[in-house]
Structure 1
């Protein structure tokens, strides 16, 4: 496989954690970061990703948050081989029924980790179509979820980014849903492929360095990986300098509109 056409993207809110976790990311591929400290995440991050990464000759994009700790990166490339040979568009972990504290829609993934056929995404990309897919019909997706032992809601629209994955599914793109188990701390989860753990997801990235409880818990997972503090990661970092201001302006505009409508409704009484 040509690693020059594989990249890894992280939307980061805690750069101290990223400076450690990224040292365990897959080697010899380009690392990109979206600076999420201005509030950019989820669907906004996906849209910004396309703005910055289109036409960079990327075929496969690994998406991993800074609280993802890779145990065995070779398995990531094995996954890509499988996805390529069996025409999968995306792989990841269901956002309901499989992680104890994620009880939402099992027909889409949680964005903490995924592998995406970026070349195909570039070919079909349509932002307006994606936005219009923020809905779900009852019994629309016929996954066999009978083996899910956790709670879930098949009609959940909990995350705004769900529309991106609904859009892909409605275009008949294949998803490879991976297996996971809760770690002994009952917060983190381990992710499997072919019954072998290849990464841990710690959750609560924002709390690392700010909460003793979560810092100690995450450091315990680092200890499983034989952390070496002398290794350095040098990603290309993207930051939308106008994002926070624009979002604040939109929020204020919506607030003003609501007030105007409220005054108008009062005047009709």
Structure 2
């Protein structure tokens, strides 16, 4: 097993994970954050650093359970290019590339990404990261002229954007991947291409709906049926779960409600 590369999934649907995880790249450690208690987005990223910081990981692949790898080994060629080009983050823009993702093209969507984890872990400061949930007009200078979809350079749609804006403000380079809509009868699923333009993985979206919504279950199962599977026994992942997360989140929300009420009263 390559101990320097690992893959992490924040999982809300373990039934789907059992079908997608055997397609993940072989020979690397699998980690899971149990997200069934509501942990996701920026909270999941923060928890990831707290649990993995001492695992001696150089490169971390992040892939949701609705990611279905066609050619899993292509992630290693992406990592090779990241090493050669001094890239810190690899992924698909969250605007302008995927038709139904019309948000900020300066950040990526976390359904799939590759991080230079060793580099980022040395810089990681949760308090500083959270201060970066803003965008200044004209701050970033990406050439967006070739983007074919809609986007908003001022969008703060996802709470995890602060992580990527923080990295960009640290001068870190992003390797952006392209994606297409591969099926005529499925306008939701995307095909993500590797750094050389080769088909690497499908992202079906709507993991939460798998097994609960007939339309999305059939749609996702149809994509699973298109992916070649090799018969091999999957090594069980290492699973992390913050048992007190839901309680702490509830207390935090109540605290901020009371604080906002007090601020409103004091302004009168």
Interval of TM-score (by shorter of Structure 1 and Structure 2):
over 0.9
Q: What SS does structure 2 have at the residue aligned with 1:9?
A: strand
**In 2, Cα distance between equivalents of 1:49 and 1:7:** 12
**Structure 1 residue 129: Cα displacement:** 1.5
**Structure 1 residue 233: Cα displacement:** 4.1
> Residues 55 and 230 (structure 1 numbering): CA distance in 2 closer, same or farther, change over 3 Å?
closer
In the other structure, the counterpart of 1:100 is 99
Q: What SS does structure 2 have at the residue aligned with 1:62?
A: strand
**Structure 1 residue 259: Cα displacement:** 4.0
Unaligned runs of 5+ in 2: none
**In 2, Cα distance between equivalents of 1:140 and 1:258:** 31
**In 1, Cα distance between equivalents of 2:84 and 2:54:** 23
Alignment of 1:123-162 (within 5 A): 123-162=122-161
In the other structure, the counterpart of 1:209 is 211
Alignment of 1:1-269 (within 5 A): 3-184=2-183, 185-193=186-194, 194-227=196-229, 231-262=233-264, 268=268
**In 1, Cα distance between equivalents of 2:86 and 2:228:** 35
**In 1, Cα distance between equivalents of 2:59 and 2:9:** 14
Unaligned runs of 5+ in 1: none
**Structure 1 residue 195: Cα displacement:** 2.2
Q: What SS does structure 1 have at the residue aligned with 2:6?
A: strand
**Structure 1 residue 227: Cα displacement:** 4.0
TM-score by length of 2: 0.95
**Structure 1 residue 231: Cα displacement:** 3.8
**In 2, Cα distance between equivalents of 1:252 and 1:128:** 21
**Structure 1 residue 230: Cα displacement:** 6.8
Range moving further from structure 2, 248-257 or 93-102: 248-257
8 A contact 1:19–1:233 mirrored in 2: no
**Structure 1 residue 212: Cα displacement:** 1.1
8 A contact 2:62–2:111 mirrored in 1: yes
Paired residue total: 265
**Structure 1 residue 256: Cα displacement:** 2.8
C-alpha offsets along residues 46-90 of structure 1, whole Å, 9 cap, x if unaligned? 100010001211000000000000000111111111111111101
C-alpha offsets along residues 180-229 of structure 1, whole Å, 9 cap, x if unaligned? 01232000100012221110000000011111111111111111113468
**In 1, Cα distance between equivalents of 2:218 and 2:230:** 17
8 A contact 2:9–2:62 mirrored in 1: yes
8 A contact 1:19–1:232 mirrored in 2: no
